[in-house]
Each structure stands twice: as structure tokens, then as C-alpha cells.
Structure 1
Amino acid sequence: MTTFHIQTLNAISPVGLQRLDRELFDIGTDIPEPRGILVRSADLHSMDVPPSLYAVARAGAGTNNIPVARLAALGIPVFNTPGANANAVKELVIAGMLLAARNLYHAADYTRDLVAEKGLAGKELDVQVEAGKKQFAGFELPGKSLGVIGLGAIGVLVANAAHALGLKVLGYDPALTIKNAWQLSPNVEQVTSVEELFSRSDMITLHVPLVDGTRGLVNAERIALMPQGGVVLNFARGGVVDEAAVLQALDTGHLHAYVNDFPSESGAVHPRVVTLPHLGASTGEAEDNCAIMAVDQLADYLLHGNIRNSVNFPEVVMARTPGTTRVGIFNENKPNMIGQITAVLADAGLNVAEFTNKSQGDYAYTLVDVEGEVRDELKEQILAIDGVIRARKIET
């Protein structure tokens, strides 16, 4: 029986790790030739990729700390866990909206300073509290408009919750999936451009990955489109917001507040900014959910070759055919690859019982269940096909 060696590069929730059968998986932080890597925030960009490595699974949604393209070229899928921390982030976004609307963060600081710094107490404290509270007067959420950029797992939850709180909700996501569309409240109005969303939203919340197309998405030109006294909430990635533009808009009074999860030297001390220490997924429930999802996806791939929620290869899931041997093949997305692969199988006297192939960008992945003995030389014959990156017999 094959034993898969799994290296953990961060503390992974034991709720997730306990799902791995210890007869099939050897888990540890010091694994010299791992078949799989489980990671959270560790930076893998400078890592020497061991030839033994089959897959990397991140217990979280973002993969900026992983060399995704380099691993794709080696036939190594990278898994993430979209949606596993969605409720935790949703709750933080709603909290951020309330912090901004009612000026709660700075009001709490003011009250604390009255006691801790000025030493006020009793009637004197009461007088100063009443005298100072006017500066923290805010606004209520019902009737305000919220623009949600990115309607993935988190964005959909935020949009639905905001509508339940009485806000008019606008959404923008040109890549909205059918699954998320079904989960989105019909009361959320979908707009056709980012500019329209900015111009019609009192508050903006971002739920997009940091890629070339989203870097600096919130900039001076788009902020200028917002109504006076707008609020920007960023619990996605720091780089999707041009912070200098936001701070300038706060200084002029065009923006009321900026609430974010990505501290910077200038933003953390600004009187109209609430900066949190990257708390988006920092709940016990979210860490457990991410670990469970990452572990299950890694195990399913190692044991059965199935790919779910990979950021660099297509989703390929196929039930195993009894009495067959499974082969998984990564290749460049180019013509006649399927024909060449099936020809090699036929020449080896193997009957194809089940076959699936999907492509994504520059790469494709094939799963095939064959009847007959899969000899060791078959792998070398498949790898000899121009464009094939990696192949393995999945024996468990």
C-alpha cells in the first residue's frame, strides 16, 4: 500500500489533519521528499521544488505566497479553499461597515483616553463624554447603497447580508459563476461597469484577488465618482486600493472613512482610517474549515487524481471504474494531445474504460481508467509525447 508523505509548512488545524488516514499518509514538518505540501502563509517562492512533489494545498483563498505558474509548468496543481472562510470575512465586513458608519473605533479611543490619559472619573467624566460625543455622530445603514465588487463566495454573502440590513446593494462581477448567481439575492442589482458601481454607491467593498487587472482598482478617478462622504472597505488585498488616493480623499472630506485589513505606516495613524491586523479569516471556525477543505482536496488528488479548486489546472473529477488502473497526465494545451495519448495506450494493449480531459489556459489534464496491466514503461512512453509534462499511475 502506498504511503504519501505530507509536509506541513505552517500550523494546520488538527481538525483538518485528523481526516488523513495515518495508514496512507505520513504527516510532519520535516519531510525530506514530500508528495504533498500543506501551507497557510509560508512563502514558497524561494523554495527548491523537490522532484517528489505532486501537489500543494493552501488552507486559505489567496495564493500570492506560492509560485503558481512555476508549479504549473512542472505539472503540480495548487489547491486553495475558496469559501471556507467566507462567513468569517463577511462578518468582519459587516462589522467594518458599522465601525465606519458610527465612528465606533475612534469614539472608543476618545473614551479610553478620557480615563487612561486624562484621568477623568465620575461627574467630570460624564460631562466630557456628553460634550465630546457630537464629534462622533454617524449615520444609519438602511437606505444607504453598498457596491460589492466581486461576487464570489464572500461577496455573495456580504451582498445578501447587507440587503438584510436594509441597504440597497449593487454588485459587479463579469465572471459571476452560475453557482454563485443562484445563491445571490434577487434584490441585488448587478451593474455592468465598475464606474457605474462607484458613482451609485455610498459604500464600496472589495472581494477580488490581487492580479494585474485588479491592482489599484480603487484609484483617484473612481473615488471621485462616489457621492460625498463615501466609505471604502478593503478586506481583499492591500494592493487593490491606491491608499495614497484614499488618504487624499479622506483629507479633503470626499471620503468619510477607509476600513481595511492591511496595515501601513501612513494608513494606521490616519484619523479617518480603521486598520485591522489582517483578521479576515482569524476565527477558529474559519481555520478549521480551510484545513478540512485543503486536506480533503489534497487527499482526493493523491489517492484518486481528482482536481478540485486548483488555481493552475482545470477541475477534473471522475469516479473510479472498478477493476481498472487509473493514470493521470498533465500536458500543454496543444492539438492532438488526446489522440497521441490514447494511441500509446492502445499500443500497450490497454482498453480505455473511462476517460476525461479538460484544459485551462496553457495546460490540460487527463484522467483515464484502463483495463489491463499498466507496466512501468508506459509512463516513459507517455512522457515521450511532445507536450506531456507529467504522468503518474494512481494505484490506491
Structure 2
Amino acid sequence: MPNIRLLNSISERGLDRFPNDYIIGTDVQEPDAILVRSHDMYDYKLEQSVLAVARAGVGVNNIPHDRLAHSGTVVFSTPGANANAVKELVIASLFLVARKLVPSILWTNNLRGPDIEERIEANKKQFVGSELAGKKIGIIGLGAIGAELANALHALGMTVVGYDPFMSVESAWRVSNQIERSTQIDELLGSCDYVTLHLPLLDGTRGMIDSALFAKMRPGLTLLNFSRGELVDEPALGDALRSGRLGMYVTDFPNSFVLSLPRVIPLPHIGASTVEAEENCAVMAVEQLKEFIETGNIRRSVNFPDVALAFTGKRRITVAHQNIPNMVGQIAGALAKSGINIANMINGSKGSVAYTIIDIDNHADEMIDLSAIEEIAGVLRTRLI
């Protein structure tokens, strides 16, 4: 009877995926897992009982996932669940910029008096925009969102160039062969009318759009940021906008500094704020937790390797451990000494941690003592399923 604690409101469409014997709520005791959206968990006191944390969303900046990895707690996120929502908002933002919709709406909304039609006809030339068809856009980051966006913008008649030195095979399959690939970010920035960012925030990407890259941008370029505000160096952004080098900045992550700059279209962090995206994220997070609790399989974890073994009904042992030499050998040796026969085994590693799934032939009524494995130096957590 697994216990699931909720730290935020989670879509019922996702929660309905849990079997009836799961106990779900905000105040459940000794939770086996936690479901979260935006709650800051850095100062959250996590019970030893917690096997996993699943975020119904993509970014995990609110979860100390590195620290949790070293206690054997798996952290999941839901990449791709909100891809369509972000894709559609990026496309809408491109139309906002190209057709000067924001200033035209503001100007028109302030009109008063009996001669509105005449004034509109006399002044509408100031809002002449441009069409997206035939324009060139660069997409930096071709993950779930970037790949979907590339295909959609190509269908709108844009020339699409993608840059992603770490592009996965899965993403490569999703991207149309009509999408150009750039191997140099400088080349992309210097040739595009629009550039949109779709990258995770990592040590290597923080502040990556800096003064050196702004200097290489095509003059008048529009930059869109629906990933993380910290990807862009703010002092350099200010210089680029004030000098006119950067034509427009569209961001889903405004702050007081960004709002003080000219030619900024700010949005209130609504990239994934659709009913459908919230439902999709909740469903994916619940399915990940359910599979992990019931089978030990890990899919789409941010702090542990993805490791999955078809569940055949045999008893299963899972071991979260440090990624150091001879761990698998020691685990197998401990099982052999305990008279436990291995039927199947799989292991994977990610950075400094690793994860091993072992199916065993011992009958369900046999006592299984995991203490010999738990005593191995470097073992973080064990489970018997």
C-alpha cells in the first residue's frame, strides 16, 4: 500500500492513474514517494522512507537532485510533456513580433472619439509588419521542444537552422530532414532573423548568450527565451538592446532589470501553463512513479541512469550505489553467499551513481536478507520487490 505525498496541486487526470490501493494526499505519513510541481525542496526535510521524487514538469531547479542521488533517492521529471504548449507559445510570440501586434493593440485600445475609423486608416502604416514565411530562424537546442518547433516552423515556410552539439538519437529521429544543421553557433547567430533558446540550465549553459555572442548576431535579430532566464547574460543583454544590436527580446522570465530595458516583450512564465500540459506532466510523473515503485524500473530520471528490465513476476532486488569499480561483482558475490540465484541482471551508471536491477529465482515465501549487500561500501539503498 504505497503512500504518495503531494507538495502541490496535481491534475486529477494524473492522480487517477494510481491504483485504488495507493494512499495519496498532502499529509500522508512516511511517504514512499513525493509528487511536486513548484514547491522549493531545498530546505524540505525528506523522510528516509522516500524512494523517489517526481516533478510534474521539466525543470528541477527546485529539487536538490544531486544531493538526493547520494542518498539513493531517484528524481524524475517529465521532458516532452509540455513540448506542444511551449511550441505554440513560441510560434505565437513570433507572430507578436513580426506583425507588431503588441504596439498595435495598445494603440488601438487607447482610441476614443467619433473619428476612430479615420484615425485608424491614417495611422495604420506605423504597424506594418513582416511575414514569417521566407525568414530564417535558428533553434539552439533540439530536444523535445526544439525538435517539435523546428518541424512546425518549417511547415510555416521558414528556413530553420538547428544547433545542438549534444543532440540525441531520439531527437534526430524527430527532426525533419528539411531542417538545416549548424555546427557553429557563431554562424547561426550571424545569419538568422530570429533565434530561440531551448536548452537546460547547466553550469555550461548559464550566461552562454554573452557579449561575445551578441556581437556576432545579425543586427536587428529577435531573440526568444522560453527555457531559462539565466541562459542570457543580463548586462550584455542590456547593452545589446540599448545599442540596437538586438532588435527585440521575448522572454518568459522577466525580472526588474529585464523590464527596465527597451524592446522587451515579457510574458509571466506561462510557457507550460495550459490545461493540457499540466495534465500531460501529471500523467507522465505518475506513470514514472508507479513503474518505479512496482517494478524498480527507472525512466526519465535526472539524477540516476535510465535502467529498465521487463518485469516477469520474479522477485526483484534493486540496488542504488556509487559508480565505482567492482560494485556489481560484490553485489553478485553477496547474493551467491546467501544462496540467492540470479535469473537476470541489468546495470547502468550516470556520473557518480549507478543502479542495478536483479531478478532472482527464489520463491516468494523464502526469506531474503539484503544486509550483506547493504554492508558493501558504496551501496546507497536496496529494495526487495
Query: Is this a same-fold pair by TM over 0.5?
Result: yes
Shift of 1:249: 2.0
Amino acid at match of 1:77: V
Per-residue Cα deviation, 1:175-199 (whole angstroms, up to 9, x for no partner)? 1111110110111111112222211
Q: Return the offset for 1:270.
A: 4.2
Q: Distance in 1 between matches of 2:252 and 2:148?
A: 18
User: Is 1:58 the equivalent of 2:55?
Assistant: yes
Q: Which moved more, 1:269-278 or 1:14-23?
A: 269-278
**Does the alignment pair 1:246 with 2:241?**
no
Contact kept, 8 Å, 1:100 with 1:258, in 2: the verdict is no
Select 1:308's aligned residue among 299, 311, 326: 299
Report matched runs for 1:7-26 at 5 Å: 7-23=5-21, 25-26=22-23
SS at match of 1:340: helix
C-alpha deviations, 1:292-335, integer Å up to 9, x for none? 0000000100011000000001111111234x210100111111
Match of 1:5 among 3, 6, 11: 3
Structure 2 counterpart SS, 1:81: coil
CA distance in 2, matches of 1:97, 1:188: 18
Which of 362, 366, 369 is equivalent to 2:359? 369
Per-residue CA deviation, residues 28-80 of structure 1 (Å, 9 max, x unaligned), is 00123111000000000001121110000000010000001010000111000
Q: Which residue of 2 aligns with 1:171?
A: 162
1:195-245 CA distance string (max 9 Å, x none): 222112211100011111111122222122121211000000111112332
Identity %: 49
Cα separation, partners in 2 of 1:221 and 1:135, compared to 1, 3 Å: farther
* Superposed displacement of residue 271, structure 1: 4.5
Q: Could you say if the C-alpha distance between residues 376 and 198 of structure 1 is closer, same or farther in structure 2, counting changes exceeding 3 Å? A: farther
- Deviations along 1:233-276, one digit per CA (max 9) or x if unpaired, are 00001111123322332222222211111121233354511111
Q: Report the counterpart of residue 94 of structure 1 in structure 2.
A: 91
SS of 2:247's partner is strand
Q: How does 1:71-86 map to 2 (within 5 A)?
A: 71-86=68-83
Q: Write the deviation string for residues 71-121 of structure 1: whole angstroms up to 9, x where unpaired.
A: 00001110000000000000000011111111111221121122xxxxx13
- Aligned match for 1:39, one of 36, 39, 49: 36
Residue aligning to 1:202: 193
Match of 2:64 among 62, 67, 74: 67
Tell me what 2:334 maps to.
344
Distance of 2:238 and 2:102 partners within structure 1: 17
Counterpart amino acid of 2:281?
A: C
Structure 1: distance between partners of 2:342 and 2:113? 82
Instruction: Quote the Cα distance in structure 2 between the aligned partners of 1:45 and 1:246.
Output: 30
Tell me, yes or no, if the aligned pair for 1:321 and 1:354 is still in contact at 8 Å: no
SS of equivalent residue, structure 1 residue 287: helix
Residues of 2 paired with 1:32 and 1:336: CA distance? Answer: 37
Q: Which residue of 2 aligns with 1:122?
A: 114
Q: Pick from 132, 145, 149: which aligns with 1:141?
A: 132
Paired residue total: 384
Q: Shift in Å at residue 352 of structure 1?
A: 0.8
Quote the RMSD (CA, aligned, Å). Answer: 1.5
1:362–1:19 distance in 2 versus 1, CA, 3 Å? same
What is the distance in 2 between the residues matched to 1:63 and 1:328? 24
